[in-house]
Amino acid sequence: MNEPFIETDTLIVGAGPIGLELAVVLKAMGVSYQHIDAGQVGQTISWYPKQVRFFSSPERIAIAGVPLGTSDQEKATREQYLAYLRGIVQQFELVVHTYERVIQVVKNDPGFAVHTRRGSEQRLYHAKHVVMAVGDLHHPQKLGIPGEDLSHVNHYFDEPHQYFGQQLLIVGGRNSAVETAIRCSRAGAHVTLSYRRSEFDDTSVKYWLLPEILSLIKSGQITYLPNTTPTRVCDTHVRLARTGADGQVIAASDPACGDPIDVPANFVLLMTGYRMDTSLLEDSGVELVGENQGPKLDTDTMMTNVPGLYVAGTAAAGTQKNFRLFIENCHQHVSKIVKSITGQRPPAGMVNDAATKYDLPES
Ligand SMILES: Cc1cc2nc3c(=O)[nH]c(=O)nc-3n(C[C@H](O)[C@H](O)[C@H](O)COP(=O)(O)OP(=O)(O)OC[C@H]3O[C@@H](n4cnc5c(N)ncnc54)[C@H](O)[C@@H]3O)c2cc1C
């Protein structure tokens, strides 16, 4: 007996801002679609630290032509943006199959067989087109050092209160490490910041945070250990090695190597970035290209080398070492995919795709 399946024109994988924007437009244009997310709507944003602010201004991350207002006219916080996304789902009466993971996409001419799992239940969809709006921040970039998996070590920062009065070592020197260091220091943690470079890169740190971190370091409220990197995490301390101008550990034979540094720490936050899980794309037959291992695609349509399979949002970039693809320059993926699928452009004003130029990392 054949397995029962759900038939649709387009299946969207991922209900982040770009997947949701696409859903609004397809619905408005009368295209039948199904929408699936492995977690909750806005799952990626839900694990941002509490109260963190976007660096993008509200009008750039607004979707589907719906204004994003903030009560203080500042940039939106995680909480405000999640409320906004929930509002989008409610306003447009979108149906998102949340907590359902797409586990396999099989080309099955003329379309695709898409296998999903929700708890112990498995489902099968048949779709003419599949759009992967799966994002690019799936797993932490691990350092691969002994002790990295100890219980007092974390790759995610949630909120500062738990570090009050604690010896906290933060590793990293980009935005998330700097912001975490400032917030935890202000919340009474004894913060040491280890960064493998000598100075912060002002293109990788929110412009309003840079003077703050420099001031906290200068006043001694944060201990800064530039040109260092952890080599081992122990229960009571972290061992750091010295790094050179290239950020790499200096060889023991080099006189500049010096002695290792032991920093007391009862909590460790490794803010060393995130990487994309490309396995679903690869298993679907999508070629990965370039340094970022992003999907091979036609940038006019966002279709990959697999006919009928598209990529939207930051997933188009692969693992970004230097961030160039954000929500604000992904809106146009929606217009391009809609045009490719329906032959028409989205209704006027529904996609904010004129604001920023298309800037896909080179592959
Ligand atoms: C602290 C922090 C601050 C940031 N600030 C900004 C900012 O100011 N501006 C900006 O543009 N970006 C910012 N980003 C990056 C931002 O999160 C992304 O740009 C944005 O979420 C990308 O949207 P997206 O729709 O492409 O993908 P995502 O929001 O990542 O959505 C992808 C969705 O796909 C789902 N998914 C993945 N795999 C599957 C699967 N197999 N089956 C079903 N569902 C799946 C996920 O659950 C997720 O909900 C920030 C990131 C962090 C961590």
What is the structure's pLDDT at 357? 53
Compute mean pLDDT per 10 residues along the chain, 363 residues long, and list them: 84 98 98 98 98 95 96 95 98 98 95 97 97 97 97 98 98 97 98 97 92 98 98 98 93 88 98 97 97 95 98 96 90 97 96 64 44
What is the structure's pLDDT at 109? 84
User: Which of the listed residues 314, 319, 352 should we mutate to test ligand 1's pocket, taking the one with most ligand atoms within 8 A of CB?
Assistant: 314
Render pLDDT for 105-140 as a digit per residue (tens, 0 to 9). Answer: 999 988 999 999 999 999 999 999 999 999 999 999
* Dist CA 164 CA 67 (whole Å): 38
What is the structure's pLDDT at 256? 85
Architecture of domain 141-270: 3-Layer(bba) Sandwich (3.50)
Closest-lying ligand 1 atom to the alpha carbon of residue 43 = 49
CATH 3.50.50.60 domain position(s) in the chain: 6-138+276-342, 141-270
What is the structure's pLDDT at 363? 40
What is the structure's pLDDT at 2? 61
Q: Looking at the DSSP assignment, which residues form a beta bridge with residue 126?
A: 7, 113
38 lines ligand 1 (CB under 6 A): yes
Which homologous superfamily does the CATH classification assign to the domain defined by 6-138+276-342? FAD/NAD(P)-binding domain (3.50.50.60)
Spatial contact of 282 and 306, defined as CB atoms under 8 Å apart: no
Closest-lying ligand 1 atom to the alpha carbon of residue 330 = 26
Closest-lying ligand 1 atom to the alpha carbon of residue 49 = 1
What is the structure's pLDDT at 362? 46
Ligand 1 center to 128 CA (angstroms) = 25
Q: Look at residues 341, 361, 327, 284 and name the one whose alpha carbon lies nearest to residue 20.
A: 327
Ligand 1 center to 278 CA (angstroms) = 14
Ligand 1 center to 78 CA (angstroms) = 12
Closest-lying ligand 1 atom to the alpha carbon of residue 103 = 41
What is the structure's pLDDT at 131? 98
Structure tokens at 353: 């795709």
Strands (E), 31-162: 33-36, 101-108, 111-118, 121-132, 139-140, 153-154
Residue with tokens 């935890």: 184
Is residue 41 classed exposed, middle or buried when 0-12, 13-18 and 19+ CB atoms within 10 A define those classes? Answer: buried
309 lines ligand 1 (CB under 6 A): no
What is the structure's pLDDT at 360? 53
Give the list of residues 6+ apart from residue 130 with CB closer than 8 angstroms, or none.
Answer: 10, 11, 13, 105, 112, 114, 284, 308, 309, 310
What is the structure's pLDDT at 361? 47
